[in-house]
Structure 1
Amino acid sequence: MTSFAIIGHLALTDGDFSLNDLPGAGRMDVLCRCVNASFFLSHDLRRDVDCYLVLLGKSKAPRTLLFRGNEMRSLSPDERSAGALIKKGLSIPCGSEFREAAPGVYVRNTGLDRLFAEHTFAVLDENGTDIRTVTTMPDAFLLSDHQNFSDDEESLIKNASQYSVGPVCLHADHTITVISNEIDRRKNGWK
């Protein structure tokens, strides 16, 4: 099982946004692309992936959404589809434990500190160690959206292993694709 967690620094947390303006919802478009990159193959979904979105925008922050590939039923490969599932998840009342919003989609009122207590994340950062030189691949990865990690986040992740996917900075969704490709290559004996 591989897990990706993406921090949405400005992403709205109340579900009150238009699917016609995902960028205006605190760059929800970036997070939708990350969800899609985590799961989609040509004509199939990755069933062995979990994707967490840690939303830190206005009103009900922090909130965490969990997408589970092995339970997913209604995700299509467009941003609006992912956005609709996010919106649905944010519209239901929840507490500190995950509550199911749709098949394979869960939400709770917690943030990054709770995720770090539950998982050992490797941080994806352009200054990290080249992922292709790593002998054992991590199984959980943390990324930031279009913004850098905040000072509070930096203090939380300071002891985490840090990896890079290459010599230039990529968008978060592209980074997920590269990581997934590297995992696929290793599982199938490619060098």
Structure 2
Amino acid sequence: MKRFIIVGHKASTSGDFSLNDMPGGAGRMDVLCRCVNSSLFLSHDLRRDVECYLVLQGEPDPPKTILFSGERVRYLNPDERSAGSLIKKALAATCRDEFSESTKGVYVRRGGLDRLLSEFQVALLDENGEDIRTMAELPDAYLLSDHMNFAEEEEALIQDVQKVSVGPKILHADHTITIMLNEMDRRENPSEL
């Protein structure tokens, strides 16, 4: 299973936001929606072997984690509003300490980055990390930030995490996910190159 964890520093933890104002009123939820789509969509299909975790740290009730399972998700279309709508439904559901399903293949629970780091061995996607093209083996789980840098307390949590890079430039999180998945695809199917 391939996993992407994206931290949304200002992303709303209430489903009261408008789908017409995800960049402003929802704390840049649009960035997270693009990451969901980059993680899960192929042309005319979904990546069934990918999970996308959104760590929402905005007001009024942080932190919450939303999981999109490529294997089980339904009702997701390749546009930001579709992902945003499923996030709204997840945030409207009762949030417990363990994942509960809000819609098919979308889950929500209390807790944030520290909990996910205790559950998975992750690599931080960072332009100063080891180039993925020179690595013998690639990790299975990756951590990214939204449009903001990691906060000081997050930096303390990830100081010993392996850093890997898709290139020398700083890219948007959703573009980084696409490049990472492309590299994985190429390694899994070398005869198709």
TM-score > 0.5 by shorter chain: yes
Whether 2:64 is the aligned partner of 1:63: answer yes
1:69: how far off? Answer: 0.4
Paired with 2:154 and 2:133, the residues of 1 have a C-alpha distance of: 25
Amino acid at match of 2:133: R
Identical counterparts, % of pairs: 63
Q: Which runs of 4+ in 1 moved over 6 A?
A: none
Amino acid at match of 2:155: E
Paired with 1:85 and 1:132, the residues of 2 have a C-alpha distance of: 35
- Superposed counterparts of 1:1-191, under 5 Å: 1-24=1-24, 25-189=26-190
Paired with 1:134 and 1:151, the residues of 2 have a C-alpha distance of: 29
Amino acid at match of 2:71: N
Amino acid at match of 1:76: N
Q: CA RMSD in A?
A: 0.9
Amino acid at match of 1:135: A
Amino acid at match of 2:29: M
Question: Aligned with 1:52: secondary structure?
Answer: strand
Residues 1-42 of structure 1: CA deviation (Å, up to 9, x unaligned): 100000000000011100011101100000000000001101
The alignment of Structure 1 onto Structure 2 pairs a total of residues equal to 191
Amino acid at match of 1:9: H
Question: Aligned with 1:154: secondary structure?
Answer: helix
Q: What's the TM-score once normalised by structure 2's chain length? A: 0.97
Q: What's the TM-score once normalised by structure 1's chain length? A: 0.98
1:84: how far off? Answer: 0.2
Unpaired runs of at least 5, structure 2: none
1:159: how far off? Answer: 0.8
